[in-house]
Amino acid sequence: MLEVKNLKKTFKKTVAVEDVDLYIEEGESVGLLGPNGAGKSTTISMISTLLPPTKGTIKYKGKDVLKNPDELRPILGVVPQDIAIYGELSAYANMKFFGKIYGLSGSQLEKKIQEILELVGLSDRQKDVVDTYSGGMKRRINIAVALMHNPEFLIMDEPTVGIDPQSRNYILNMVKRLNGEKGITILYTSHYMEEVEKLCDRVYIMDHGRIIASGTKEELKNILSNEETIVIEVAERKQAFTDLLVSQKGINQVAEEENNYQLIVSKGDQLLGEIFEQARQTNVKIKSIHIQTPTLEDVFLHLTGRKLRD
Amino acid sequence: MWNVFLLQWKRLLKKPFLVFLFIGLTILFVYFMGGVQVNSTLTVPVYSESLTEGELDDWLGRLNEGETLIFEKTSAETAQEDIRMNEISFAMMIEEDNYQFLVGRDSQQIAAVDQHAEQIFREYNRLDAIQDEFPGTDIEVQEILSVQVENEGTGGGGLESYKLALLVGMTLYFSAYSVLFLQLNLIEEKRKGTWNRLIYSPVTKIQLYLGYLLHYFLVGSIQIIVSVFILTKLLQVDLGTNYYSLGIVIVSFIFATVSLGILLAALIPSPQSLQIVIPIVATSMAMLGGAFWTLEIVSNRFLLFIAELIPIKHGMDGMITAITQPEPLREILQPAGILVLMGILFMAIGINLMERVVKI
Ligand SMILES: Nc1ncnc2c1ncn2[C@@H]1O[C@H](COP(=O)(O)OP(=O)(O)O)[C@@H](O)[C@H]1O
Ligand SMILES: [Mg+2]
């Protein structure tokens, strides 16, 4: 349905996006995963016809989107990463306005507003001014207005940033329903691996403006088929221990976080003995140690040597 | 377009204070800065130390032929006391064939009184001389009548035109202020991303801009009309009857101002900086353009040249012409034309610059 080839965007001298190829089939739910500054929003802005690319093509159903933005726009819904709502108006007034500019009116408009308010769980607060909403509610109304015109293709740019786990779960379930029940094609951007793992069939992993890996979740995890992840919980991290781990043969990546070490090791190597020995040498107290099946987070770590949320 | 236009009204009505504030300020400033009394007549205390009571009364009679100035008899002691107590700013002392002012505070009004009195005295002295040579003629009456007509036009006019310039200047200044501030909401939309939502929608970019511009345009025009209406009533300034010409000037001025706002917004995309820049721009424009003092007192060529580049100057010229001239239509075409040209230029550059920046 959508095909992006060789996309590139430079801002003055900074290259924000380069060599991006991706495609999305009808009804799919596709994730675009990457840390902050990876170029996700820039890519999305080009796909949604806002930002002219420096290079590359974007085709929707075989037609060039850059030349005919009006082919894509009517069926496109965009949930921007910042809350793009008139804060001084109520949720209802916002939805009414955005419904109207898409040509809805009368009882049809009213019905649509109530249907979507129900979906995002804001029915009882619809007359309140949006500025008085909590972060989670603002995120929900931000999604709601993008649904007013029944889009077939929904692009969501980090729609759960900075909200409590409860609201986040609500939104994730909602997105799943939009894709599953209503058949809306979804391009979902995030730097939370769990979200993409939960919602998406296929994933593109982006870093420094480039797609560094892509495929179904299983395919991506197969990148790690010869490797496994060891998570060590310690009482206190020590540089000497880290250094020993890094220089240990068979340990391919080492990431540190609070009281954890996350190691990506070659499968089959018996490394636990060495790790315990090194901990003893450096006086590090190991509280727990376990071996994990890989996650997309591990894939990112494997590919870049960094964690998604640095 | 109409949806976008109506939405702006809805948003304005949620926060209408700014516009009310500026209308209020216009009226307050004009009212106090001019030191203009609500009744537009001015009472001048008059006394004499050398003339007889009867001679002074004769002079009062002649001086009081005009309508805007009232000359009232007082004594030297009272006048001096009142001036000392700051109750009056000046008094007039009449001697034979001559007069002087006793001035406490310097006042704009002295000039008008002086102009009026000088003419009466000059005329009287002239007639007096004629009468000495040809006793018994009755030219006197006719001449005095014609003198009276003349001095009403000029003597009262000094004060009137000062008031008018102040009124028009302040009105335009504060309306420009309001419109420029209002335009912050366009920047805000672009920054927040609601603008992008509008771009995705079937509303075309032209409709989008028109919706906004029309809104600013109307708010600005309404502010000018309300301010002018209230002030002319309050100060009893004659608005004339050339409403079409006046309307043309107002519309051209607001167009130029809205365009200037677009240009500013394009040059300075951060709302915080704009909030600082707008007052500076609006106020320096008003100063250089002659809204705070008349440009007649400016002799610097460079400053006068700068004034030509400022919308407020042409707006004032046009409005004053439309109010005071009997057939102003041809004369206002120049200032209105300049304003429209400025508007087109600012708008074209502004929108072009603005369109280059996309919020992602
Ligand atoms: N208007 C701009 N001018 C210059 N650089 C920009 C601009 N917009 C984005 N960038 C840069 O492009 C890169 C990608 O940004 P973005 O697409 O927002 O990343 P993400 O959405 O993945 O966090 C960043 O390094 C950012 O600094
Ligand atoms: Mg982003």
In the block, which residue shows the tokens 């102003």? Answer: B328
pLDDT digits (tens, 9 = 90+) for B89-132: 888 888 877 888 888 776 667 777 888 888 888 888 877 777 77
pLDDT number for residue B152: 35
Specify which residues A265 forms β-bridges with: A228, A251
* Nearest-Cα residue of chain A relative to residue B203: A101
Q: Is B204 on the interface with A (CB under 8 A)?
A: no
Residues 6+ apart with CB under 8 A from B2: B211
End-to-end CA distance of chain B: 24
Residues B166 and B236 in one domain: yes
Residues B257 and B225 in one domain: yes
CA atoms within 13 A on the CB side of B352: 6
The number of the ligand 1 atom at minimal distance from the alpha carbon of A40 is 22
**Whose C-alpha lies nearest to ligand 1, atom 3?**
A11
Residues B253 and B305 in one domain: yes
Q: Strands of B134-277 (E only): list them.
A: none
The number of the ligand 1 atom at minimal distance from the alpha carbon of A158 is 21
Query: Is residue B80 exposed (0-12), middle (13-18) or buried (19+ Cβ within 10 Å)?
Result: middle
pLDDT number for residue B149: 35
Name the most confidently modeled range: B21-25, B84-88, B339-343: B339-343
Helix (H, G, I), strand (E, B) or coil at A159: coil
Question: What's the rounded Cα separation, in Å, for the pair B212 and B196?
Answer: 15
The whole-angstrom distance between A139's CA and the closest CA on chain B is 14
pLDDT at B42 over 80: no
CA of A44 to the centre of ligand 2 (A): 9
Residues B50 and B79 in one domain: yes
Residues B242 and B126 in one domain: no
A34's tokens: 């990457």
Helix (H, G, I), strand (E, B) or coil at A190: strand
Q: SS3 breakdown of chain A: % helix, strand, coil, rounded to 5?
A: 40, 30, 30
Contact (CB, 8 A) for B265 and B350: yes
The number of the ligand 1 atom at minimal distance from the alpha carbon of A45 is 17
* Domain of residue B59, CATH code: 3.40.190.10
CB contacts of B14 in chain A (<8 Å) are 88-89
Mean pLDDT of B23-35: 76
Query: Is residue A103 exposed (0-12), middle (13-18) or buried (19+ Cβ within 10 Å)?
Result: middle
In 3D space, the residue among B15, B37, B18 whose CA is nearest the CA of residue B26 turns out to be B18
Beta-carbon separation of A50 and B7 below 8 A: no
Question: What's the rounded Cα separation, in Å, for the pair A198 and A175?
Answer: 10
pLDDT number for residue B146: 36
Contact (CB, 8 A) for B245 and B36: no
Specify which residues A291 forms β-bridges with: A230
- Point out the residue among B7, B197, B202 whose CB comes nearest to the CB of A84: B197
pLDDT number for residue A152: 95
pLDDT number for residue B300: 80
Residues B228 and B346 in one domain: yes
pLDDT digits (tens, 9 = 90+) for B289-327: 888 877 777 778 888 888 888 999 999 999 999 988 888
pLDDT number for residue B34: 60
**Within a domain: residue B121?**
yes
CA of A42 to the centre of ligand 1 (A): 6
Q: Is B301 on the interface with A (CB under 8 A)?
A: no
Q: Is B192 on the interface with A (CB under 8 A)?
A: yes
Beta-carbon separation of A50 and B4 below 8 A: no
Query: Is residue B152 exposed (0-12), middle (13-18) or buried (19+ Cβ within 10 Å)?
Result: middle
Beta-carbon separation of B202 and A103 below 8 A: yes
Crossing angle for the helix pair B243-267 and B271-289, nearest 10 degrees?
Answer: 140
Can you list the pairs that A267-270 forms with residues at least 24 positions away whose Cβ atoms lie under 8 Å? A267/A225, A267/A226, A267/A227, A267/A228
Quick one: fold of A2-221?
Rossmann fold (3.40.50)
**Whose C-alpha lies nearest to ligand 1, atom 12?**
A16
pLDDT number for residue B106: 66
Helix (H, G, I), strand (E, B) or coil at A200: coil
CATH class of the domain at A226-293? alpha beta
A14 lines ligand 1 (CB under 6 A): yes
Residues B211 and B162 in one domain: yes
B360 lines ligand 1 (CB under 6 A): yes
| Backbone torsions φ then ψ of A288, nearest 5 degrees | -155, 160
pLDDT number for residue B145: 38
Residues B171 and B307 in one domain: yes
Residues B85 and B210 in one domain: no
Q: Is B218 on the interface with A (CB under 8 A)?
A: no
Residues B199 and B324 in one domain: yes
Can you give the residue range of the structural domain that contains B108?
41-133
**Within a domain: residue B31?**
yes
Chain mean position to CA B352: 34
In the block, which residue shows the tokens 């919308």? Answer: B311
Question: What's the rounded Cα separation, in Å, for the pair B72 and B43?
Answer: 7
Q: Which residue has the higher pLDDT, A261 or B238?
A: A261
A105: number of Cβ within 10 Å = 10
pLDDT digits (tens, 9 = 90+) for B208-226: 999 999 999 999 999 999 8
pLDDT digits (tens, 9 = 90+) for A9-48: 999 889 999 999 999 999 999 999 999 999 999 999 999 9
pLDDT at A204 over 90: yes
Mean pLDDT of B191-211: 92
Mean pLDDT of A255-283: 87
Query: Is residue B327 exposed (0-12), middle (13-18) or buried (19+ Cβ within 10 Å)?
Result: exposed
A9 lines ligand 1 (CB under 6 A): no
Model confidence band, residue B156 (pLDDT cutoffs 50, 70, 90)? very low
The whole-angstrom distance between A84's CA and the closest CA on chain B is 5
In 3D space, the residue among B303, B253, B312 whose CA is nearest the CA of residue B283 turns out to be B312
**Within a domain: residue B189?**
yes
Helix (H, G, I), strand (E, B) or coil at A103: coil
* Nearest-Cα residue of chain A relative to residue B193: A84
Closest ligand (CA of A16): 1
In the block, which residue shows the tokens 């345009």? Answer: B217
- Point out the residue among B194, B203, B358 whose CB comes nearest to the CB of A45: B358
- Report chain B's mean pLDDT, rounded to a whole number: 83
Residues B129 and B165 in one domain: no
Residues B106 and B237 in one domain: no
Model confidence band, residue B158 (pLDDT cutoffs 50, 70, 90)? low
Q: By percentage, how much of chain B surpasses pLDDT 90?
A: 30
Characterize A177-207 residue by residue with b for buried, 16 or more Cβ atoms within 10 angstroms of its Cβ, and e for exposed: ebbeeeebbbbbbbbbbebbbebbebbbbbb
Number of domains in chain B: 2
CA of B128 to the centre of ligand 1 (A): 89
ipTM: 0.82
**Within a domain: residue B49?**
yes
Q: By percentage, how much of chain B surpasses pLDDT 70?
A: 89
pLDDT number for residue B39: 47
Least confident of A4-8, A291-295, B295-299, B300-304: B295-299
Query: How far are the Cα atoms of A170, B239, B247, B335, B343 from residue B329, in angstroms, in the given order?
Result: 66, 15, 11, 11, 20
Model confidence band, residue B253 (pLDDT cutoffs 50, 70, 90)? very high
Question: What's the rounded Cα separation, in Å, for the pair B340 and B217?
Answer: 13
The whole-angstrom distance between B3's CA and the closest CA on chain A is 7
Contact residues, B window 10-49, toward A, CB-based 8 Å cutoff: 10-11, 14-15
pLDDT number for residue B40: 55
A4: number of Cβ within 10 Å = 21
**Within a domain: residue B152?**
no
Amino acid (one-letter) located at A158: E
Please report, for chain A, the start and end positions of each structural domain, with discontinuous segments joined by +.
2-221, 226-293
**Within a domain: residue B61?**
yes
User: What's the length of chain B?
Assistant: 360
Residues 6+ apart with CB under 8 A from B263: B346, B347, B349, B350, B353
pLDDT digits (tens, 9 = 90+) for A135-169: 999 999 999 999 999 999 999 999 999 898 889 99
For the entire predicted model, the pTM comes to: 0.75
In 3D space, the residue among A140, A132, A85 whose CA is nearest the CA of residue B11 turns out to be A85
The maximal CA–CA distance of chain A, rounded, in angstroms, is: 76
